[in-house]
Amino acid sequence: MLTRRTFLAAAAASLLFSSVATAQYKAEYTVSTVLPSAFPWGQAADKWVELVHERSEGRINMKIYSNSQLVSGDQTKEFSAMRSGLIDMAVGSTINWSPQVPELNLFSLPFLMPDYGAIDAITQGEAGEAIFAAIEKRGVTPLAWGENGFRELSNSKHPVTRPDDVKGLKIRVVGSPLFQDTFATLGANPTQMSWADAKPALTTGAVDGQENPLSVFDVARIDQVGQEHLTLWHYMADPLIFAVSNRVWNQFSAEDQALLKQAAIDAGEWEIKKSRAEVADTLAAIKARGVQVTELTDEQRQAFVDATQPVYEKWTKRIGEQLVQQAQQAVADSQR
């Protein structure tokens, strides 16, 4: 029979145990992002932090460090820093993590995803699961998807309607060598640099062009550094991934893991919906500022699709043939 005394002792022990368990939690977890709160990306991270704080009743606190400051501005080091535990958590772009997770180059294959339905078909299906497994295998626990957006091409020289127009342009690219290949295949002169270095390079004319989602072009006022020509070619879109270093993840209780994951899913869904809904207004604002916007006809777009095919030959092997096939099938199904 449970006496009052043993009951009290057990209660005290469980109290002690739970306070020890929570004491193992950090007072604050670091969350790395590239873009801050003015951008959908930063807003996705803000939302996650807010939901976790609210739902854990203040037990789990996260602080966002934007502009890749935890990796001294080098966004391609974010994944390694998370894996080694220097960063606890991140909301990061597939592009920036692809040097460490080759499978993430899938999304950078030119013209793989024609529309939002195609992105969702990949992220929400088997291919998405395979990608999350690849991330986990490399020391980071992925929780949910967000979205940076379809990346469009801008430059300071002339309108781009055909692959020939890209020839000789110095283009700032980010992250993975795949981008070097895509632009080199088009005859451009690509230079890899971080986001921190991109705007200065555009300002001085060290580069002629860049590629980023409309939200980034708009909020960062890329037109003010001479980028007068913008071509909507939708050649790729980079999803965002909410993730936690495995070292930190394993310290959370199962309930708190579920809480962190559900909050990330909710924040991601919220951000994807919001950023897609804002695209039309963003484009109107960009046009209103005098940027010359070129929308490609199907035929013009096809010329870019054809010209970039060699990138698939080289990169399908590195990404994984099965994964590329799975993704292509998912896209094809989504277009029916």
The residues that touch ligand X2X, with contacts defined as CB under 6 A, are 34-35, 75, 93, 95-96, 148, 174, 195, 212, 216, 238
User: What is the rounded end-to-end Cα distance, in angstroms, of the chain?
Assistant: 67
Closer of 93 and 154 to ligand X2X (Cβ): 93
Q: Report the residue closest to ligand X2X, judged by CB.
A: 195
Q: Count of CB atoms within 10 A of residue 238's CB?
A: 27
The answer to whether residues 146 and 128 touch, using CB atoms and an 8 Å cutoff, is no
Bridge partners of 160?
none
Dist. CA 127–CA 116, nearest whole Å: 16
3-state secondary structure of 202: helix
Q: How far is the CB of 321 from ligand X2X (least distance, A)?
A: 26
Judged by CB, which is closer to ligand X2X: 123, or 148? Answer: 148
Give me the residue label for tokens 């394993």.
Answer: 250
Nearer to ligand X2X, 125 or 226 (CB): 226
* 100 in Cβ contact with 80 (< 8 Å): yes
Q: Give the nearest distance from C-beta 8 to ligand X2X in angstroms.
A: 56
CB of 175 to ligand X2X, least distance (A): 6
- In the complex, the smallest distance separating the C-beta of residue 75 from ligand X2X, rounded to whole angstroms, is 5
Q: Which residue's CB is nearer to ligand X2X, number 44 or number 259?
A: 44
CA nearest to 68, candidates 48, 47, 51, 86 = 86
Rounded to whole angstroms, how far apart are CA atoms 250 and 316?
A: 33
Pick the closer one to ligand X2X by CB: 35 or 140: 35
User: Could you give the CA distance from residue 90 to residue 67 in angstroms, rounded to a whole number?
Assistant: 12
Least distance CB 73 / ligand X2X (angstroms):
10
What distance in Å separates the CA atoms of residue 135 and residue 129, rounded to the nearest whole number? Answer: 10
Cα distance between residue 3 and residue 11, in whole Å: 12
Q: Using the minimum distance from each CB to ligand X2X, give the nearer residue, 217 or 252.
A: 217
* CB of 205 vs ligand X2X, minimal distance in Å: 18
